[in-house]
Amino acid sequence: MITRFAPSPTGPLHLGHAYSAILAHDSARTAGGRFLLRIEDIDRSRARPEWEAQIYDDLAWLGLSWEQPVMRQSDRLPVYRAALQSLWDRGLIFACQCSRRDILSAASAPNEGEPLMGPDGVIYPGTCRHRDCTSGAMPEGEALRLNMRMALAGQDAIRFTETGAGPMGETGEITLPLAALIEGIGDVVLSRRDMGTSYHLSVVLDDAEQGVTQVTRGQDLFEATAIHVVLQRHLGLPTPTYHHHRLIRDEAGKRLAKRDDARAIATYRAEGATPDDIRRMVGL
């Protein structure tokens, strides 16, 4: 078994990260497998070297060890570009010039109430899909979206194996009807204007490159898994097993966020907590 922990160096690791990292690490160790680390630093406006340094420090303090070298997404932009080019050449992605406001107003048809939300926010209403913008060279500096209908053509359903559970208790062999993806997810962005890639595209390429066989991550990413399986099919990549775990919440039941410095591992360390205390706090 090959597992991984893939933090973004955009803030301190908190209890939720510790839970995810320990879970992935321990399941690899129990299975006699490998535990890998990946730094998800494609968001250059938010990623900071000091957060990355703090991640290594906190994980080592927790007693985790991982293989070297550590993969960093910022080193892999040409790989992401090549994958986009291959999707572009097959007409599976299209350029999108819509602003957030354009999307919101097109998605909020009069008298229809609130626009539908997917894993990435408002479901794209399709405006640029209808423009003839798939011919010619792949544009630079524009958002590129997956044409979900086209990507699902000829398939009967999207399937993956879940060894943890989704937010509604979904577990085992998951089968998602195509309508759930077309209506509930839609044409997600695969390359952001400011990044040249996206979380979805990078995570799929990187998990495959690292040979990850079990993706361990929070339940908040369960819905996004369908996008990842679609991309794996089109990029000729294997689909790993997924293990989505419960989220660590604060006393009010709210899930912890990056800015939740009060629950940062570094704060607990400074207050004298031990790694075993952290394990106990997250219920391990």
| Site residues (vs ligand GLU, CB under 6 A) | 6-8, 40, 203, 217, 221
Contacts 24+ apart (CB under 8 A), 261-268: 261/12, 263/14, 263/15, 264/12, 264/13, 264/14, 265/12, 265/13, 265/14, 265/15, 265/17, 265/18, 265/58, 265/61, 265/62, 266/12, 266/13, 266/54, 266/58, 267/12
Min dist CB 217 to ligand GLU, Å, is: 4
CB of 10 to ligand GLU, least distance (A): 8
Six-digit token string for 56: 């290594």
Give the residue with the Cβ less far from ligand GLU, 7 or 186.
7
Q: How far is the CB of 234 from ligand GLU (least distance, A)?
A: 19
Minimum CB distance to ligand GLU, residue 104 (Å) = 25
In the complex with ligand GLU, the residue whose CB is nearer, 152 or 203, is 203
Cα separation, 256 vs 268, in Å, equals: 15
Contact 166, 217 (CB under 8 A): no
Nearer to ligand GLU, 126 or 218 (CB): 218
Nearest distance in Å: CB 174, ligand GLU: 16
Nearer to ligand GLU, 147 or 191 (CB): 191
The CB-of-135 to ligand GLU minimum distance in angstroms stands at: 33
Of the pair 36, 150, the CB lying nearest ligand GLU is at 36
| Residue carrying structure tokens 């535990």 | 35
CB of 112 to ligand GLU, least distance (A): 32
Is residue 211 a contact partner of residue 181, using CB atoms and an 8 Å limit? no
Q: Which residue is nearest to ligand GLU (CB)?
A: 217
Structure tokens at 259: 């800015």
Geometric angle at alpha carbon 79, from 58 and 23, rounded to 5°: 30
Please identify, using beta-carbon distances, which residue of 43 and 142 lies nearer to ligand GLU: 43
**Measured distance between the N- and C-terminal CA atoms of the chain, rounded to whole angstroms:** 20
C-beta of 10 vs 171, nearer to ligand GLU: 10
